[in-house]
């Protein structure tokens, strides 16, 4: 932790839902987990795959941070409650929740299968609902309010195909702002990050050509490629005291891609 940079996160307890990533790669959830721990938070890394969560946990420990890990299917109510209860049983409080679970689909409504539509909506929305359902009462009980960050996408406001995915991520925007309205009186801030085409394992592990990657980079107005660290830093900011007067905000982190007419792939 950098003691010269006080985010007001030291000794806070954070859950990162979807905090794993393939191997030792840096996805959005893993970056958020590591950076929250760097800022002094005690981090519970939750992921459906235990090994992925354990790898993030170990990366935090190697940097001198405090963390634990847990696996569970966070589309299930009992699993979400288990995660929140685990954080409380270990640290006695809860202050931060980063909802970072999501999958994609590239098909139009004509070509999409009903069962896949249901699956994408289930994965991209239900964990945010359920994790928040169990986290918010504990944040209230802790006495200092709390901060929730939901991860959406610029596809929510500027779709380029990915119809089912775009629809689910659009719902994340509405969910986040409605939660901000509901729970501001409890001292709980709820914000939403809209990543652009950042280079993460979810994107490049299925396969990406050099030309496709170059196209994504060129779509940025500042001509750089975003990555998981960029999203993780935005999470830390929104969870920090520096953002104490920010709630219901939709923070676009995309290098200007959503302002550009250039194709982003």
57: enclosing H helix or E strand: helix 50-62
What burial class does residue 109 get, using C-beta atoms within 10 Å of its C-beta: 0-12 exposed, 13-18 middle, 19+ buried?
A: exposed
Catalytic machinery residues: 152, 165, 169
C-alpha dihedral sign at 109, 174, 254, 54: negative
Q: Which residue has the tokens 């509901």?
A: 182
Query: Structure tokens of 85?
Result: 């209860």
Instruction: Return the bridge partners of 98, or none.
Output: 16, 149
Using DSSP, state whether 227 is helix, strand or coil: strand
Residue 177 has a CB neighbour count (10 Å cut-off) of 18
Strands (E), 18-58: 42-47
């Amino acid at each position: 932790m950098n003691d010269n940079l006080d985010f007001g996160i030291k000794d806070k307890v954070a859950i990162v839902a979807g905090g794993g990533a393939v191997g030792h790669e840096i996805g959005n959830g893993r970056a958020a987990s590591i950076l929250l721990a760097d800022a002094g938070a005690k981090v519970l890394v939750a992921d459906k795959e235990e090994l992925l969560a354990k790898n993030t946990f170990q990366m935090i420990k190697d940097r001198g941070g405090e963390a634990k890990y847990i696996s569970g299917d966070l589309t299930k109510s009992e699993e979400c409650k288990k995660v929140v209860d685990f954080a409380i049983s270990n640290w006695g409080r809860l202050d931060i929740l980063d909802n970072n679970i999501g999958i994609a689909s590239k098909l139009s409504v004509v070509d999409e299968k009903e069962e896949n539509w249901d699956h994408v909506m289930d994965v991209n929305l239900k964990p945010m609902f359920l994790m928040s359902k169990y986290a918010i009462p504990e944040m209230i009980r802790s006495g200092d309010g709390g901060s929730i960050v939901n991860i959406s996408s610029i596809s929510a406001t500027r779709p380029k195909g990915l119809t089912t995915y775009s629809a689910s991520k659009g719902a994340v925007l509405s969910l986040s702002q409605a939660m901000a309205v509901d729970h501001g009186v409890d001292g709980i801030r709820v914000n939403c990050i809209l990543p652009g085409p950042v280079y993460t394992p979810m994107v490049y592990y299925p396969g990406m050509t050099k030309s496709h990657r170059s196209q994504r980079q060129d779509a940025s107005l500042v001509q750089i490629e975003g990555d998981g660290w960029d999203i993780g830093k935005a999470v830390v900011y929104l969870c920090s005291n520096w953002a104490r007067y920010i709630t219901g905000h939709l923070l676009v982190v995309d290098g200007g891609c959503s302002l550009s007419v250039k194709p982003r792939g």
